[in-house]
Amino acid sequence: MRNTIMLMEKARHDLVEFGKRLVTANLTKGTGGNLSVFDRENGTVAITPSGIDFFEIRPEDIVIIDLDGKTVEGTKTPSSEWEMHLMPYRHRNDIDAVIHAHTTYATVLAVLRQDLPPSHYMVAVAGPNVRCAPYATYGTHELAVNSYEYMKDRRAVILANHGILSGAQDLLNAFNIIEEVEYCSQIHYMASCMGKPHILPDEEMTLMAEKFKTYGQRKSNA
């Protein structure tokens, strides 16, 4: 009988679950976006496949790749933006999960090529602000480099004319960052329609960063 044990089995199920949550929470549309989890001990990455609806992805469709982007296990094609996921895993020790989504309001800022300033204190889940990285074609090395550089010292980055990327210690916190940055982007957009938002000072965001070391971190039940 064929051995049905798969590499990174829990990560596969988590990726399926959180992919669906992106859609049901209205944080992306159709096949827009991708998710991954890094097994730091074994140096492997579980990543969603390319071009499959999130509600059709099965655990066995998740692709396992190494840090060079080579397929270790799986028959599907990994997300075309796999290198954008690998850059943080290669160079940061605080990120073991990455989510990319095409949210509405963060993408409004992306189209305007604007950073998200700290007009709301919850921006602190990602950093003192969320930078907008220069535009690059999706799935390219240039996009991977731009997203990595502009997410330094941050846990999220806006991708010009594209969407948003977040990174955290696990999928739950990466998802939370996407949610909060999208909410803050919506508030900033709406406030900007009425006037000029008041931006919180650096010292307040430094205080928020300290407070969020505990408050801003969600714990998985697993």
Is 81 an annotated catalytic residue?
Answer: yes
Phi, psi angle pair for 164, to nearest 5°: -140, 150
- In a 10 Å sphere around its CB, with 0-12 CB exposed, 13-18 middle and 19+ buried, how is residue 30 labelled? exposed
Whose structure tokens read 């397929």?
A: 71
Tokens matching residue 13: 């199920």
Q: Given 9, 60, 81, 182, which residue is catalytic?
A: 81
**CB burial class (10 A; 0-12, 13-18, 19+) of residue 82?**
buried
Strand order in the sheet with 156-159: 71-73, 63-66, 44-47, 34-39, 97-101, 163-168, 156-159, 132-133
Query: How many whole angstroms separate alpha carbon 80 and alpha carbon 133?
Result: 19
**Residues 166, 181 contacting (CB under 8 angstroms):** yes
**Partners of 35 in the β-ladder:** 99
Q: What is the dihedral of CA 33, 97, 81, 90, to 10 degrees?
A: 170
CA distance 29 to 157: 19
Which residues are the active-site residues?
Answer: 81
